[in-house]
Amino acid sequence: MKTPAKTRRCFFYGFLRKLYLELKLKTMRNAFLFLVSIALFASCSTNRAYKSVAPSYGYDSYSERGSRSAKSETLAGFSEEQMIIYNAGIGLVVKNPDTAATRVTSIAKKYEGYVVSISQNSVSIRVKSEHLNSAMKEIELLGKLKYKDISGDDVTMEYNNLTIRLDNANKARQRYLELLAKAEDVKAALEVEKELERLNKEIDLLEMQIRNITQQVNYSLITVSLEERTQPGILGYVFIGLYKGVKWLFVWN
């Protein structure tokens, strides 16, 4: 039989054990909630850091890829410089148009050019574009200058457009050649050959247009108009003499 003192002691020990277990359970629960809070905070911080860095990273890498792609896909013949076709016209009054035309032809050869056309009162030549001004000055000395004009036409966009179309046509032609090699019957082969024929014509036309523009850019056109100087008759010389005499008497410079 337990004594009252022993009973009280057992009750006290039981109370302490229960209190210890409750404190332990509460501590573990608090520790678990604390760890979960830390994990959630770390996850949110990581997401915010990713969102703040991602746009800059994505933009930079896209720019680099775009730059590399643009460089690798630059078309052969594509012009990044301005391409201008220069045309010039000169009107001269000369003593002998035939002699002047011969001189103009010589000037064309001198400046690495050639004669485009020649007629009784007109000569058209082309000279290297870098020699245009020099050739113009030399032609002016052949007679009395009536007029002179120079015009320029920027064909950079047209040239680059033709270059892109030519590149696309060549790529399409290559694909059709591959299809022709894999054609399983005559009908399929004929259809591919028909498309190849169309592409070949388009490629020839584009190449011709590109050559034409390149030629006009490299060689400037000069059109020289020649007018024969009229020779006065006997009475004409008399009136010219009188005019000069009156001018000498009354007009002093």
Q: What pLDDT score was predicted for residue 222?
A: 97
Q: What are the extents of the domains in the chain? A: 1-62, 84-156+219-228, 157-217
Name which CATH class applies to 84-156+219-228. alpha beta
Residue among 202, 217, 222, 220 at smallest CA distance from 159: 217
C-alpha 135/C-alpha 214 separation (Å) is 20
Contacts of 149 (CB under 8 A, 6+ apart): 88, 89
Cβ pair 132, 86 in contact under 8 A: yes
Q: List, for residues 180-216, the tens digit of each pLDDT value.
A: 888 888 888 888 899 999 999 999 999 999 999 999 9
Quickly list DSSP for 185-208: SHHHHHHHHHHHHHHHHHHHHHHH
Averaged pLDDT of the chain: 76
Looking at 17-21, 71-75, 191-195, which range is the least confident one?
71-75
Q: Hey, is 81 helix, strand or coil?
A: coil
Quote the DSSP letter at residue 130: G
| pLDDT score of 103 | 96
Q: What is the pLDDT averaged over residues 9-31?
A: 55
The Cα 26–Cα 197 span in angstroms is 88
Q: Tell me the pLDDT tens digit for each residue of 164-176.
A: 999 999 999 999 9
